[in-house]
């Protein structure tokens, strides 16, 4: 009797002591990241291309079919992007808005924006082909953003905000798929291997500029298995109209790039270690392969997009008159280039441990 009594007392004391600590720990986790900043291509663009003159837009149905209120925001998918899920995970906001939206409040700007632009790439020639925003212009916008914030909340606060922010960069596919392997310009003067090195020099330059601008926690997404993009299968596979297997050649380019990218990031990590910068490689290749061929997840279709025939549609080819599959969650790809929200959600989950490693 007295033993049970003291046990209860002890438990009460334990909870009285522990409960506030637990609550504190939870809110501390959220406050570890001040904001999220995104750079890159359509895998990261929440609608910046709505504000520029380019055919590479997606602010019309059926894009956004499964977004909040079914709004076609300009995200190249049926719902949210991986970065929206990451923003939620680190506790800064629900959706990452496009920087070029002039109606964003200071409060909204303060927790981060995306500068990404669909169809861009690291090669300065790639955004010129599609008339979209280059990576160096995205950095310019980031500088402009900082000036705006300094005027609104002060210099020191802005610097701290940037220091504690999470940066995610996702680009590179268009450099190979739209540029190198389609146009005869770069392929005339570079081999695949030297072109990969050329891109990675631009990656390094970009990271240098980002660090110069105060970025300290940087996650860099690698390339997906490009040979498994439905459009690449359609255009480059021998069995495009039967089995539709992935095109190994294109995926091997991605693997080669990814391994060189990881070396590059290790080098950059050493170079900027004295600044307290942390760089992480975010692997999208492995998780996507698991979804496409691994049967680890319960997708029904991986080699067709949900929109239209699923063979070639993307941007204006996936439009209000396109057939749309009933349930996009059963598809890895939404159109013939871009993942579904379900795929982005699963990818964002696999990123979590790596994101923890640079933000904690």
Ligand X SMILES: *[C@@H]1O[C@H](CO)[C@@H](O)[C@H](O)[C@H]1NC(C)=O
Q: Which is nearer to ligand X, 268 or 332 (CB)?
A: 332
The CB-of-327 to ligand X minimum distance in angstroms stands at 4
Q: Taking CB under 6 A as the criterion, which residues in 117-156 touch ligand X?
A: none
Catalytic site residues? 42, 335, 338
Which of 90, 132, 72, 141 is closest to 113 using CA atoms?
Answer: 141
Q: Residue 70 interacts with ligand X (CB under 6 A)? A: no
Dump the DSSP string for 90-109.
TTS-SS--BTT-TT--HHHH
Which of 68, 45, 67, 39 is closest to 57 using CA atoms?
Answer: 45
3-state secondary structure of 302: strand
Q: Which is nearer to ligand X, 163 or 301 (CB)?
A: 301
Q: Where do runs of H (alpha helix) occur along 191-314?
A: 192-212, 230-236, 248-271, 285-292
By beta-carbon distance, which residue lies closest to ligand X? 327
Q: Taking CB under 6 A as the criterion, which residues in 329-358 touch ligand X?
A: 329-330
The CB-of-77 to ligand X minimum distance in angstroms stands at 15
Per-residue x/- marks for ligand X, 184-223, CB under 6 A?
Answer: ----------------------------------------
Taking the alpha carbons at both ends of the chain, their separation in whole angstroms is 46
- Distances in Å between the alpha carbon of 188 and those of 30, 123, 192? 50, 15, 10
CB of 326 closer than 8 Å to CB of 319: no
Give every strand in the sheet of 36-40, ordered side by side: 36-40, 166-170, 217-221, 278-282
Candidate segments 132-140, 192-200, 279-287, 322-330, binder of ligand X by CB under 6 A: 322-330
**What residues does 170 pair with on adjacent strands?**
40, 221
The CB-of-320 to ligand X minimum distance in angstroms stands at 21
Q: Residue 327 interacts with ligand X (CB under 6 A)? A: yes
The CB-of-334 to ligand X minimum distance in angstroms stands at 14
The CB-of-290 to ligand X minimum distance in angstroms stands at 16
Candidate segments 47-55, 156-164, 309-317, 325-333, binder of ligand X by CB under 6 A: 325-333
Q: Taking CB under 6 A as the criterion, which residues in 292-321 touch ligand X?
A: 298
E strand or H helix that includes residue 30: helix 2-31
Residues forming contacts to ligand X in the complex (CB under 6 A) are 298, 327, 329-330
């Amino acid at each position: 009797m007295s033993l049970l009594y003291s046990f209860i007392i002890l438990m009460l004391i334990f909870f009285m002591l522990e409960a506030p600590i637990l609550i504190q720990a939870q809110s501390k986790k959220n406050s570890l990241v001040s904001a999220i900043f995104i750079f890159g291509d359509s895998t990261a663009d929440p609608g910046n291309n709505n504000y520029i003159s380019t055919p590479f837009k997606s602010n019309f149905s059926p894009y956004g079919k499964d977004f909040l209120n079914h709004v076609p925001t300009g995200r190249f998918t049926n719902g949210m992007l991986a970065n929206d899920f990451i923003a939620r995970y680190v506790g800064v906001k629900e959706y990452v808005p496009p920087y070029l939206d002039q109606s964003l409040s200071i409060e909204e700007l303060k927790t981060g924006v995306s500068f990404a632009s669909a169809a861009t790439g690291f090669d300065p020639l790639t955004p010129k082909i599609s008339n979209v925003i280059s990576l160096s212009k995205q950095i310019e916008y980031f500088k402009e953003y900082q000036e705006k914030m300094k005027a609104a909340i002060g210099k020191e606060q802005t610097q701290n905000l940037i220091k504690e922010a999470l940066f995610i960069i996702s680009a590179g596919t268009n450099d190979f798929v739209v540029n190198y392997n389609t146009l005869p310009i770069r392929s005339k003067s570079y081999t695949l291997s030297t072109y990969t090195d050329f891109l990675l020099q631009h990656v390094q330059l970009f990271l240098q500029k980002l660090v110069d601008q105060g970025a300290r926690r940087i996650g860099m997404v690698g390339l997906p298995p490009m040979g498994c993009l439905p459009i690449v299968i359609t255009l480059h596979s021998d069995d495009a109209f039967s089995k539709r297997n992935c095109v190994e050649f294109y995926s091997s380019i991605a693997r080669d790039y990814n391994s060189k990218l990881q070396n590059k990031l290790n080098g950059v990590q050493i170079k900027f270690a004295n600044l307290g910068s942390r760089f992480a490689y975010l692997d999208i290749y492995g998780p996507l392969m698991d979804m496409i061929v691994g049967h680890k997840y319960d997708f029904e279709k991986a080699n067709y997009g949900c929109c239209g025939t699923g063979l070639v549609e993307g941007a204006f080819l996936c439009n209000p008159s396109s057939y749309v599959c009933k349930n996009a969650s059963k598809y890895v790809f939404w159109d013939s280039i871009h993942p579904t929200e379900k795929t982005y959600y699963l990818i964002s989950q696999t990123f979590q441990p790596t994101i923890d490693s640079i933000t904690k």
